[in-house]
Structure 1
Amino acid sequence: MRGLIVLLAAGTSSRMRGADKLLESVDDQPLLRLMAKRCVKAGPTRIVLGPDQPNRRAALDGIDVEIVEAEGTDGMAASLRAGVSGLKNQSVMIALADMPEITASDLHLLFSLHDQGLSPIIQAAGEDGTPGQPVVFAPKYLKHLGKLQGDEGARSILKAHARDVALIPLKGDRATTDLDTPEDWATWRAHS
């Protein structure tokens, strides 16, 4: 059974100085909508939003996704807990919504390698081997993901279970390109 994709989209875009990075236009649509469509092509998708994000909700209108809301003030961990809540015996792919170069094909590849039993954790990497996103976790890690605290994401799980991680290089820097500031966006657009 294909696992669930959890697309994390609850952040506040605080480094964007008033703009919302997930509503920035990419391919003539908000980035969040584009990423949700790519995820849905690769498998069932749950999207984690923060409280009071009506514009992000509106950007997802008409896309077949489950939307859940992160509770708590510990950033990434709150999103991850919400994303895996209620899941049992199911692999989960954690993807970030601010990574516009990740394609549906990339998501398919990571899931396929996981489904073939390559490793319990499949982590996308840059072409140069730099660890990146997304990451697929076998069901045995759901309890760890559900107990995370703090704003560092799943880094502690990846570190504690480093022997279980298979790094899969994706073309170029797509597994490491996330856009957090207006300068990041300007640089990325200049080179796209």
Structure 2
Amino acid sequence: MKPKIVTVILAAGASSRFNGAKIVAKVQGELSLLEHCLQTLDRVTTAVGIAPAVVMLGAHQTDEVLAIIADHHRLINDNWQLGLSSSVKLAGRYAQSQQADAMLIVLADQVALQETEYLQLIEAYIRNNLTTCAFYLQNVGVPAIFLAEDINVLMSIDGDKGAKSILKQHDKNNSLNVVQMEQAQFDIDTPADLARWLDNKD
């Protein structure tokens, strides 16, 4: 039986280094960062036959943002000021409420990732039923697929930390699938990052 995978796009942060809502910045023609991420994930979830991604919002819930995600379920992180861990915990609670076998965590600002990379990640998880993550810049990181039993551990993370510590522990225990994904290193944190991406993407 195919595992039930819940996909959560984390887009709740203030993007303070960007001086505004980076998720609506245009990264590909008229497509915003969030639209680009959603469209990519829509192709992935359709191809695999799993539920569409849900979007987690927090600091930026403007009409423009809400219009972008109108066709998708959304989670609202009222505690976004507490950092990335608050989003990870909320995503975990949602996955548990859906009785998911696994949860795919995606960052909206990893602008270079295409469906092929996400599909490789999901296929690797389905093949071995192990926690599975990207590997880039000589390190483990997101996007990552966490098993249901990982989620209770995710709930113990605090502050502006994501889930890397759990990935590293799995790696140490030889219970981690890693998928080479150098494209995951490209994210948009500052206006300079965006300018560099727009200059180089072609």
User: Percent sequence identity over matched residues?
Assistant: 24
- Give unmatched runs, 5+ long, in structure 2: 46-50
Say if 2:55 and 2:69, in contact at 8 Å, map to a contact too. Answer: no
- Please show how residues 98-109 of structure 1 align to structure 2 within 5 Å: 98-109=109-120
Q: State the AA in 1 paired with 2:189.
A: D
User: What residue identity is the alignment partner of 2:158?
Assistant: Q
User: Does structure 2 conserve the Cα–Cα contact (< 8 Å) formed by 1:131 and 1:176?
Assistant: no
Q: Cα–Cα, structure 1 residues 132 and 180, in superposed 2: closer, same or farther, change >3 Å? A: same
1:26 equivalent in structure 2: 27
Partner of 2:85: 77
Q: Is the 8 A contact 1:132 1:176 kept in 2?
A: no
Q: Residue type of the partner of 1:21? A: K
Report the CA distance shift for 1:98/1:52 in structure 2 as closer, same or farther (over 3 A). closer
Structure 1 stretches (4+) deviating beyond 4 angstroms?
none
Cα gap change, 1:191 to 1:130, in 2 (>3 Å)? farther
Secondary structure of the 1:152 match is: coil
TM-score normalised according to structure 1 size: 0.87
Provide the C-alpha distance between the structure 2 equivalents of 1:34 and 1:82, rounded to a whole number of angstroms.
23
For residue 103 of structure 2, what is the aligned residue in structure 1? Answer: 92
- Verify: 1:123 aligned to 2:133, yes or no: yes
1:9 maps to what in 2? 11
From the two aligned structures, give the one with the greater helix fraction: 2
Gaps in structure 1 of 5+ consecutive residues: none
Write the distance in 2 (CA, Å) between the matches of 1:189 and 1:130: 26
Aligned length, in residue pairs: 185
The residue identity in structure 1 corresponding to 2:122 is F
CA contact (8 A) 1:50 1:69 kept: yes
Contact in 1 for aligned 2:7/2:105 (Cα 8 Å): yes
Q: 1 CA distance for matches of 2:156 and 2:140?
A: 23
Measure the CA separation in 2 of the matches of 1:26 and 1:52.
18
CA pair 67-89 structure 1, distance change in 2 beyond 3 A: closer
The equivalent of 2:48 in structure 1 is none
